[in-house]
Amino acid sequence: MNEPTATGIGASLRRIEDHRFITGRGKYTDDIQRHGQVHAYLLRSNLAHGEIRHIDTAQAKQAPGVLAVFTGADLRADGIGDLPVGWMTTNIDGTLMFIPPHPVLAVDRVRHVGDPIAVIIAATLSQAKDAAELIEFDISDLPAVANIDRATAAGAPLVWDGAAHNTAFHWQVGNSAAVEAAFARAHHITRIDLVNNRMVANAMEPRVAIGEFDEGRGEYLLHLSSQNPHVARILLATATLKVPEHKIRVISPDVGGGFGSKAMHYAEEVIVLWSAKKIGRPVKWTSERSEAFLSDRHGRDHKTHAELALDANGKFLALRASTIANLGAYYSTFGPAIPTFYSAPLLVGTYAIPAAYCDVRGVFTNTVPVDAYRGAGRPEAAYVIERLVDQAAHEVGLDPAEIRRRNFIPPDAFPYDNPLGAQYDSGNFGVGLEKALALADYAGFEPRRAAAKARGKLRGIGMSSYIEACGAGPSKIIMAAGAGSGMFESATIRVNPSGSVVVVTGTHSHGQGHETTFAQVVSDKLGIPIHSIEIVHGDTGRSAFGLGTVGSRSLAVGGGAIIKALDKVIAKGKRIASYILEAAESDILFENGRFVVAGTDKGISFPEIAFTAHAPAKFPSDEIEPGLEETAFFDPANFTFPAGLHICELEVDPQTGATEVLAYTVVDDFGNVINPMIVEGQVHGGTVQGIGQALLENCVYDPDTAQLLSGSFMDYCMPRADNLPNFLVDYIVTPSPHNPLGVKGCGEAGAIAAPPAVMNAMMNALRPAGVTELSMPATPLKVWQALRAAHA
Amino acid sequence: MKPAAFDYHRADNLQHACELLSSSGDDSKILAGGQTLIAMMNFRLARPKVLIDVSNIADGNQVLDEDGGIRIRATTVQRFVENSESVQQRFPLLCHAIEHVAHFQIRNKGTIGGNLVNADPASELPAMSLAFDAEFDIISVAGRRTVSASEFFVTYYTTVVAPNEVLSSIRFAEPPKNSGWGFHEVARRAGDYALAGSSAIVTLDAAGKCTRARIALFGVAATPVRATAAEDVLIGEAYSEDLLKASARSVQSILDPESDVHVTADYRRSVAEVLTVRALNDAFRRAKAVQ
CATH number of the domain that residue B42 is part of: 3.30.43.10
Statement to judge: residues B43 and B82 lie in one domain: no
Determine whether the interchain pair B2/A288 forms a contact, defined as Cβ–Cβ distance below 8 Å. Answer: yes
For the stretch A95-147, pLDDT in tens is 999 999 999 999 999 999 999 999 999 999 999 999 999 999 999 999 999 99
What pLDDT is attached to residue B1? 67
For the stretch B211-263, pLDDT in tens is 999 999 999 999 999 999 999 999 999 999 999 999 999 998 899 899 988 99
Residue B264 has pLDDT above 90, yes or no: yes
Residues of chain A in contact with residue B271, where contact means CB-CB under 8 angstroms, are 655-657, 780, 784
Instruction: For chain A, give every domain's residue range.
Output: 37-399, 488-634
Statement to judge: residues B232 and B164 lie in one domain: no
Statement to judge: residues B80 and B158 lie in one domain: yes
Question: DSSP E strands: which ranges in A255-297?
Answer: 283-286
Determine whether the interchain pair A717/B43 forms a contact, defined as Cβ–Cβ distance below 8 Å. Answer: no
Statement to judge: residues B222 and B186 lie in one domain: yes
Residue A229 has pLDDT above 90, yes or no: yes
* Three-class DSSP category at A370: strand
Alpha helices in chain B (DSSP H): 14-24, 37-42, 78-83, 85-90, 92-98, 104-107, 112-118, 124-131, 149-152, 228-234, 241-254, 265-290
Contact between residue A87 and residue A335 where contact means Cβ atoms under 8 Å apart? yes
Of A119, A114, A116, nearest in space to A129 by CA: A119
| β-strand partners of B203 | B179, B212
Which residue in chain A has the smallest CA separation from B277?
Answer: A655
Dihedral angle over CA of A701, A704, A707, A711, nearest 10: -30
Contact between residue A706 and residue A691 where contact means Cβ atoms under 8 Å apart? no
Statement to judge: residues B281 and B245 lie in one domain: yes
Statement to judge: residues B156 and B242 lie in one domain: no
For the stretch A473-522, pLDDT in tens is 899 999 999 998 889 999 999 999 999 999 999 999 999 999 999 999 99
What pLDDT is attached to residue A722? 85
Residue A417 has pLDDT above 80, yes or no: yes
For the stretch A652-701, pLDDT in tens is 999 999 999 999 999 999 999 999 999 999 999 999 999 999 999 999 99
Statement to judge: residues B112 and B145 lie in one domain: yes
Pick the last residue of a domain from B121, B154, B173. Answer: B173
Residue B281 has pLDDT above 80, yes or no: yes
Residue A213 has pLDDT above 80, yes or no: yes
Contact between residue A591 and residue A570 where contact means Cβ atoms under 8 Å apart? no
How is residue A288 annotated by DSSP? -
Determine whether the interchain pair B261/A700 forms a contact, defined as Cβ–Cβ distance below 8 Å. Answer: yes
Provide the residue range defining the domain that includes B28.
7-51
CATH number of the domain that residue B224 is part of: 3.30.390.50
Band (A195; pLDDT cuts 50, 70, 90): very high
Q: Which of A714, A779, A784, A787 to mutate to test the interface with B (most CBs of B within 10 A)?
A: A784
The set of long-range contacts for A3-11, using a CB threshold of 8 Å and a minimum separation of 24, is A3/A592, A5/A523, A5/A524, A5/A527, A7/A519, A7/A520, A7/A523, A7/A524, A7/A529, A7/A530, A8/A520, A8/A523, A8/A524, A9/A520, A9/A521, A9/A524, A9/A672, A9/A674, A10/A673, A10/A674, A10/A675, A10/A676, A11/A520, A11/A675
What pLDDT is attached to residue A21? 95
Residue B56 lies in a domain: no
Predicted structure pTM score? 0.97
Closest approach of A421 to chain B, Cα-based (Å): 41
What pLDDT is attached to residue A723? 86
Residue A764, Cβ neighbours under 10 Å: how many? 23
Average pLDDT over chain B, rounded to an integer: 96
For the stretch A289-346, pLDDT in tens is 999 999 999 999 999 999 999 999 999 999 999 999 999 999 999 999 999 999 999 9
Closest approach of B187 to chain A, Cα-based (Å): 9
What pLDDT is attached to residue A792? 78
**Euclidean distance between the first and final Cα of chain A, in Å?**
68
- For A75-94, give one letter per residue: b (16+ CB within 10 A) or e: beeeebbbbbbbbebbbeee
Determine whether the interchain pair A288/B5 forms a contact, defined as Cβ–Cβ distance below 8 Å. Answer: no
Residue A1 has pLDDT above 60, yes or no: no
Residue B57 lies in a domain: no
Average pLDDT over chain A, rounded to an integer: 97
Fold match between domain A37-399 and domain A488-634:
yes
Of A312, A306, A305, A226, nearest in space to A272 by CA: A226
Which residue in chain A has the smallest CA separation from B267?
Answer: A781
How is residue A750 annotated by DSSP? H
Residues of chain B in contact with residue A714, where contact means CB-CB under 8 angstroms, are 193
| β-strand partners of A730 | A667
For the stretch A149-164, pLDDT in tens is 999 999 999 999 999 9
Of the candidate CATH numbers 3.30.365.10, 3.90.330.10, 3.10.50.40, 3.30.360.10, the domain formed by A488-634 belongs to: 3.30.365.10
The enclosing H or E element of A250 equals strand A248-251
Statement to judge: residues B206 and B188 lie in one domain: yes
Band (A3; pLDDT cuts 50, 70, 90): low
Statement to judge: residues B184 and B122 lie in one domain: no
CATH number of the domain that residue B159 is part of: 3.30.465.10
In this structure, whether the domain defined by A37-399 belongs to CATH 3.40.50.1820 is answered with: no
Number of separate domains in chain B: 3
Statement to judge: residues B119 and B189 lie in one domain: no
| β-strand partners of A66 | A122
Of B1, B186, B261, the CB nearest to A780: B186
Residue B2 lies in a domain: no
Closest approach of B209 to chain A, Cα-based (Å): 27
Of A655, A722, A785, the CB nearest to B274: A655
Residue B221 lies in a domain: yes
Residue A5 has pLDDT above 80, yes or no: no
Any B CB within 8 A of A723 CB: yes
Residue B58 lies in a domain: no
Statement to judge: residues B199 and B269 lie in one domain: yes
Residue A327, Cβ neighbours under 10 Å: how many? 27
Region A431-445: what's the mean pLDDT?
Answer: 98
Any B CB within 8 A of A95 CB: no
Residue B1 lies in a domain: no
Contacts of A42 (CB under 8 A, 6+ apart): A116, A117, A118, A119, A120, A268, A271, A285, A291, A295
For the stretch B17-60, pLDDT in tens is 999 999 998 899 999 999 999 999 999 999 999 999 999 999 99
Contact between residue A556 and residue A512 where contact means Cβ atoms under 8 Å apart? no
What is the interface pTM, i.e. ipTM, of the complex? Answer: 0.95
Statement to judge: residues B37 and B84 lie in one domain: no
111-140 of A, contacting B, C-beta below 8 A: 125-126, 129-130
d(CA B104, CA B115) in angstroms, rounded, equals: 14
Contacts of B80 (CB under 8 A, 6+ apart): B61, B63
